[in-house]
């Protein structure tokens, strides 16, 4: 009854409008249209659906008022008023969560349901869905659903589109129900665990209308050699990547799918050479074969693939000459090819000096990690659409001139690191591009600062070991100040660092092995890693100003003065190496404000103060460095007795070197009870008395030579993110150059 009244209201509303407009053409269309009308029972189904949801971003704020057809994501039939489509897909402006009410069953005519991209975390894929037998389109993808995929979905015989991809905790043990979805054109079951289905292909082969099949990360463990009678003649898009199928790439059933436009079998442990069958797949547009164990050259009949645009075969064993590779690319598709990624293979030889035709549409050329030699050919400069050129870690050489670069107006990523390429451009040359990534490690850019970089605004920059010398110009520091990570070690950069680096964005800076002099400035506020070792710096800042700093490498500079008390304000510091400087005075005590005994808690695990002129007693601040593993105070002027608190306060200590100081008194027994101690060097002090008997209990230390590997492993953990090899240090001292105790 209520329903009838409600519909009545809608019709009555429509009539006055008609009278006003009068013209007969709008009259007929208005009759056919059912504007502004919502069926009451469906409205209440939606209200109950909404009530079960959590909607923190208030995405369903328009779900108010009588006319549910005007609610966002709800679409009704203009003729009957029934809800036909419900699209509440999550997006950047928010996701829904909570429970999906079975009240949706009330939307009997529903043809389209999209619940994807939300966060129904832990919710079982609902068993009521199969009652929505009119559904043509069902998407439950990426929404945190869990549990078994209900076989009742096989009742949705009208489905054209079915996706429950990207719900990692779902599984199925039987997919025979799929065969009842005879109209299905699109199936995405990616990340559904299908590992318990011994033979998944026959069920899929019943889907004669299938155009798109996505079974990535399904833990499929078999891929039959062939389909005796393939039904999958409409299949255009196949993605079965990230399934561990350790077998040869041919024979394999998918080579029969000659209508494929998109094939992705990357990360699947396939081996052997790419078969000639590929040459029959003349519709192919995008081919992804990366990260398998494929060997040999691409097949010669690849030349038949006149629609090819994208070829990804990175991380494999593709070998042979790069010239042959280019010759085998289909010349009929030269003008279409947009991306070639052959990174991390074994291609050899020089890039061809000439191409048959220009690759006019190419946007990315990725050949890093091969064995390419010779110079960069001039045709690179004609690739007007190129945005990414990655030739990192080859053996290329030769010189790049303006001519190689002037035509590359769209270039964003120029990655040539690890080659001996020289870049020689006129100092007045202005590049046409605006790079986001510049990787030129070990190329030859210097000796002058590369002026062409002046107006670039990269987010990634590596110009380490590029033979640049001289003072860093101001414009360069300005560019550097917006980088996340700065890599310019191993040059001959001179002069002072900027007077403050406080406002720089960087969280990591590699400036080692240059000739920077003067004082170290206040550091970037968000810095976590700084390597300024092997420079000529003369002083430490009063305030470090980088409270998140974890690694600070300042060894082999000319730093004088004392370690400032602000060192105690680096609570995250794990690794400090300031060895090989000219520091004097005693170390700061790091006392907690107002306390005379309590020291601040520090995270330091690795402290190297060797080779300075530091004095004073054994550092007091170490009393609150529970995580200390490596301590080297050798070759300083430290004096006094060794503290008995070592064992209690430094329980993890493994490496302790105090040689060549002025410590005196007895060796405390506590020292010998340190459970993890593996290396102890107390030589060249004024310590008296004998070696305590218990030192014999240093099992690991006495068995040092056999345990060397063990120690190396341990120390690799400590020296995280550092490019200094402490393990090497360790093995040098243990190879008998320094005695344990004299
Ligand atoms: C419904 O109204 C729209 C204009 O709002 C019109 O374009 C459409 O043709 C109408 N539908 C029918 C079936 O008359
Ligand atoms: C979803 O259902 C569970 C169990 O029935 C309940 O605890 C939870 O509060 C419900 N969530 C919402 C948003 O209604
Ligand atoms: C789904 O199909 C099964 C048979 O496979 C049938 O028993 C069941 O009643 C159907 N469920 C619905 C909701 O139509
Ligand atoms: C091909 O599909 C049809 C219709 O779904 C089915 O009847 C037939 O058994 C399938 N053929 C094979 C070889 O699976
Ligand atoms: C590819 O075509 C060749 C002949 O052109 C044929 O011998 C071969 O069987 C075909 N391979 C497939 C997988 O269809
Ligand atoms: C390519 O690799 C395969 C398998 O490792 C090898 O048999 C073949 O000789 C190699 N070809 C070239 C040109 O290096
Ligand atoms: C070149 O690429 C564009 C898209 O970037 C595409 O629209 C166009 O069709 C391509 N040209 C050819 C000849 O394929
Ligand atoms: C190539 O290998 C390097 C080192 O293993 C790796 O970092 C890089 O991601 C690989 N490149 C591609 C495209 O996978
Ligand atoms: C550099 O460019 C300027 C202006 O384009 C030109 O006058 C000069 O000759 C060029 N120098 C060299 C060495 O090419
Ligand atoms: C380069 O791009 C950045 C943003 O990506 C922009 O801020 C900057 O103005 C651009 N510079 C030039 C010279 O086009
Ligand atoms: C520095 O670059 C040169 C020239 O490319 C190279 O030979 C050398 O190995 C590089 N050094 C390091 C440490 O990368
Ligand atoms: C440091 O990081 C915070 C949070 O990510 C950011 O808001 C701030 O702008 C950063 N500071 C600098 C100097 O980049």
- Contacting residues for 728 by C-beta, under 8 A, at least 6 apart: none
- Contacting residues for 431 by C-beta, under 8 A, at least 6 apart: 405, 406, 452, 456
**Which ligand has its closest atom nearest to the C-alpha of 230?**
4
Is 510 exposed, middle or buried, given 0-12, 13-18 or 19+ CB atoms closer than 10 A? buried
User: What pLDDT score does 687 carry?
Assistant: 83
Residue 77 CA, ligand 1 centroid: distance in Å: 11
User: What pLDDT score does 124 carry?
Assistant: 86
Residue 100 CA, ligand 2 centroid: distance in Å: 10
Ligand 1 binding pocket includes 582 (Cβ within 6 Å): no
Residue 411 CA, ligand 10 centroid: distance in Å: 12
How many Å apart are CA 179 and CA 160, to the nearest integer? 13
Q: Which of 402, 406, 424, 426 to mutate to test the pocket of ligand 9 (most atoms within 8 A of CB)?
A: 426
Give the chain's residues under pLDDT 50. 1-33, 696-742
Q: Give 323-349 as a 3 state SS string.
A: HHHHHHCCHHHCCCCCEEECCCCEEEE
Q: Which atom of ligand 11 is nearest to the CA of 466?
A: 2
Ligand 1 binding pocket includes 33 (Cβ within 6 Å): yes
Ligand 12 binding pocket includes 525 (Cβ within 6 Å): yes
User: What pLDDT score does 437 carry?
Assistant: 95
User: What pLDDT score does 36 carry?
Assistant: 55
Q: Which of 286, 361, 383, 384 to mutate to test the pocket of ligand 7 (most atoms within 8 A of CB)?
A: 361
Ligand 6 binding pocket includes 320 (Cβ within 6 Å): yes
Q: Which of 480, 525, 527, 546 to mutate to test the pocket of ligand 12 (most atoms within 8 A of CB)?
A: 525
In this structure, which residue's CA is closest to atom 10 in ligand 4?
A: 206
- Which residue's entry shows tokens 């506590």? 670
User: What pLDDT score does 314 carry?
Assistant: 97
Q: Which atom of ligand 7 is nearest to the CA of 363?
A: 5
**Which ligand has its closest atom nearest to the C-alpha of 319?**
6
**Which ligand has its closest atom nearest to the C-alpha of 35?**
1
Q: Where would I find the H helices in 619-679?
A: 646-649
Q: Beta strand 97-98 with 53-54: parallel, antiparallel or unpaired?
A: antiparallel
Q: Beta strand 137-139 with 161-163: parallel, antiparallel or unpaired?
A: parallel
- Which residue's entry shows tokens 């009068």? 22
Ligand 6 binding pocket includes 203 (Cβ within 6 Å): no
In this structure, which residue's CA is closest to atom 10 in ligand 3?
A: 155
User: What pLDDT score does 654 carry?
Assistant: 86
pLDDT in tens, 176-223: 999 999 999 999 999 999 999 988 999 999 999 999 999 999 999 889
Number of neighbours of residue 518 by Cβ within 10 angstroms: 14
Residue 462 CA, ligand 11 centroid: distance in Å: 13
How many Å apart are CA 34 and CA 6, to the nearest integer? 13
Beta carbons of 368 and 417 less than 8 angstroms apart:
no
Residue 157 CA, ligand 3 centroid: distance in Å: 11
Ligand 4 binding pocket includes 206 (Cβ within 6 Å): yes
Q: Which atom of ligand 12 is nearest to the CA of 526?
A: 1
Residue 105 CA, ligand 6 centroid: distance in Å: 61
Considering only CA atoms, which of 322, 284, 320, 321 is closest in space to residue 301? Answer: 284
Beta carbons of 155 and 134 less than 8 angstroms apart:
no
In this structure, which residue's CA is closest to atom 9 in ligand 5?
A: 277
Q: Which atom of ligand 9 is nearest to the CA of 427?
A: 1
How many Å apart are CA 678 and CA 53, to the nearest integer? 59
Task: Provide the b/e sequence for 357-386 (b: ≥16 CB within 10 Å).
Answer: eebebbbbbbbbbbebbbbbbebbbbbeeb
| DSSP helix, strand, coil percent of the chain (3-state; round to 5) | 20, 20, 55
In this structure, which residue's CA is closest to atom 13 in ligand 8?
A: 343
Which segments within 440-555 are labelled E, that is strand?
A: 460-462, 469-471, 485-487, 492-496, 508-510, 515-519, 529-531, 536-539, 551-553
Residue 213 CA, ligand 4 centroid: distance in Å: 17
Q: Which of 481, 484, 485, 505 to mutate to test the pocket of ligand 12 (most atoms within 8 A of CB)?
A: 505
How many Å apart are CA 272 and CA 252, to the nearest integer? 12
Ligand 7 binding pocket includes 361 (Cβ within 6 Å): yes
In this structure, which residue's CA is closest to atom 3 in ligand 11?
A: 442
Q: Which of 293, 294, 295, 299 to mutate to test the pocket of ligand 6 (most atoms within 8 A of CB)?
A: 295
- Which residue's entry shows tokens 């990192």? 392
User: What pLDDT score does 547 carry?
Assistant: 95
Beta carbons of 521 and 543 less than 8 angstroms apart:
no
User: What pLDDT score does 567 carry?
Assistant: 93
Residue 496 CA, ligand 11 centroid: distance in Å: 25
In this structure, which residue's CA is closest to atom 10 in ligand 7?
A: 336
Number of neighbours of residue 469 by Cβ within 10 angstroms: 14
Beta carbons of 209 and 183 less than 8 angstroms apart:
yes
Ligand 6 binding pocket includes 321 (Cβ within 6 Å): no
- Which residue's entry shows tokens 């080297």? 632
Q: Which of 105, 155, 159 to mutate to test the pocket of ligand 3 (most atoms within 8 A of CB)?
A: 155
Q: What's the pTM value of the predicted model, to 2 decimals?
A: 0.83
| 281 backbone φψ class: left, alpha, beta (φ>0; ψ -120 to 50) | beta
Residue 722 CA, ligand 8 centroid: distance in Å: 20
In this structure, which residue's CA is closest to atom 3 in ligand 7?
A: 361
In this structure, which residue's CA is closest to atom 8 in ligand 1?
A: 29
Residue 89 CA, ligand 2 centroid: distance in Å: 20
Is 682 exposed, middle or buried, given 0-12, 13-18 or 19+ CB atoms closer than 10 A? buried
Ligand 9 binding pocket includes 428 (Cβ within 6 Å): yes
Ligand 4 binding pocket includes 208 (Cβ within 6 Å): yes
In this structure, which residue's CA is closest to atom 12 in ligand 2?
A: 98
């Amino acid at each position: 009854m209520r329903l009838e009244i409600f519909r009545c209201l809608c019709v009555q509303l429509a009539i006055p409008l008609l009278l006003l407009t009068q013209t007969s053409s709008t009259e007929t269309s208005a009759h056919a249209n059912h504007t502004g009308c919502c069926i009451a029972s469906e409205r209440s189904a939606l209200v109950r659906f909404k009530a079960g949801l959590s909607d923190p971003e208030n995405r369903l704020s328009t779900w108010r008022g009588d006319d549910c057809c005007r609610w966002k994501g709800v679409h009704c039939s203009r003729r009957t008023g029934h809800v036909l489509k419900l699209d509440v897909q999550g997006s950047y402006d928010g996701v829904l969560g909570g429970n999906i009410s079975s009240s949706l069953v009330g939307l009997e005519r529903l043809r389209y349901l999209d619940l994807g991209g939300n966060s129904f975390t832990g919710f079982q894929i609902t068993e009521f869905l199969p009652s929505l037998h009119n559904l043509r389109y069902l998407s439950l993808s990426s929404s945190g659903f869990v549990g078994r995929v209900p076989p009742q979905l096989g009742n949705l015989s009208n489905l054209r589109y079915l996706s429950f991809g990207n719900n990692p905790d779902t599984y199925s043990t039987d997919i025979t129900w799929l065969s009842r979805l005879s109209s299905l054109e699109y199936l995405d079951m990616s990340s559904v665990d299908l590992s318990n289905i011994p033979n998944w292909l026959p069920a899929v082969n019943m889907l004669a209308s299938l155009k798109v099949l996505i079974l990535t990360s399904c833990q499929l463990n078999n891929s039959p050699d062939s389909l005796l009678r393939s039904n999958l003649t409409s299949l255009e898009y196949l993605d079965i990547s990230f399934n561990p199928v350790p077998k040869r790439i041919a024979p394999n059933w998918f080579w029969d799918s000659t209508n494929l436009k998109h094939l992705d079998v990357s990360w699947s442990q396939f081996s052997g050479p790419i078969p000639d069958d590929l040459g029959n797949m003349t519709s192919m547009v995008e081919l992804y074969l990366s990260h398998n164990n494929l060997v040999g050259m691409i097949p010669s009949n690849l030349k038949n693939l006149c629609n090819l645009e994208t070829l990804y075969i990175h991380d494999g064993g593709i070998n042979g000459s790069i010239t042959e590779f280019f010759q085998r690319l289909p010349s009929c598709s030269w003008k279409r090819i947009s991306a070639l990624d052959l990174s991390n293979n074994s291609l050899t030889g020089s890039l061809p000096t000439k191409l048959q035709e220009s690759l006019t549409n190419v946007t990315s050329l990725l050949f890093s990690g091969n064995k390419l030699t010779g110079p960069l050919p001039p045709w690179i400069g004609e690739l007007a659409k190129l945005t990414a050129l990655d030739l990192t870690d080859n053996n290329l050489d030769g010189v790049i001139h303006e001519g190689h670069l002037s035509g590359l107006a769209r270039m964003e990523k120029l990655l040539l690191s690890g080659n001996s390429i020289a870049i020689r451009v006129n100092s007045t040359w202005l590049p046409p591009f605006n790079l986001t990534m510049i990787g030129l490690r070990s190329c030859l850019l210097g000796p002058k600062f590369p002026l062409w970089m002046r107006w670039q605004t990269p987010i990634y920059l590596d110009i380490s070991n590029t033979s640049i010398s001289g003072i860093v110009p101001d414009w360069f520091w300005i560019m550097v100040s917006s980088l996340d990570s700065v890599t310019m070690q191993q040059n001959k950069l001179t002069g002072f660092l900027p007077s403050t680096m406080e406002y720089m964005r960087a969280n990591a800076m590699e400036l080692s092995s240059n000739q920077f002099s003067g004082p170290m400035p206040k550091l970037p506020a968000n810095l976590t890693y700084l390597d300024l070792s092997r420079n000529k710096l003369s002083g430490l800042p009063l305030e470090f100003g980088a409270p998140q700093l974890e690694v600070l490498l300042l060894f082999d500079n000319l730093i004088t003065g004392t370690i400032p008390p602000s060192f105690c304000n680096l609570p995250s510091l794990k690794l400090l190496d300031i060895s090989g400087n000219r520091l004097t005075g005693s170390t700061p005590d790091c006392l907690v404000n107002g306390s005379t005994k309590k020291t601040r808690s520090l995270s330091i695990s690795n402290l190297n103060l060797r080779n300075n002129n530091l004095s004073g007693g054994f550092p007091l601040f170490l009393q609150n460095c529970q995580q200390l593993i490596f301590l080297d105070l050798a070759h300083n002027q430290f004096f006094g007795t060794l503290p008995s608190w070592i064992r209690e306060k430094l329980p993890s200590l493994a490496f302790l070197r105090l040689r060549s100081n002025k410590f005196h008194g007895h060796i405390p027994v506590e020292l010998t009870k340190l459970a993890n101690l593996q290396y102890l060097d107390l030589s060249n002090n004024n310590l008296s008395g004998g070696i305590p008997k218990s030192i014999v209990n240093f099992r690991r230390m006495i068995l040092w030579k056999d345990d060397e590997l063990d120690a190396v492993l341990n120390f690799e953990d400590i020296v995280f993110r550092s490019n200094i090899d402490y393990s090497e240090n360790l093995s040098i001292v243990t190879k008998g150059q320094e005695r344990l105790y004299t």
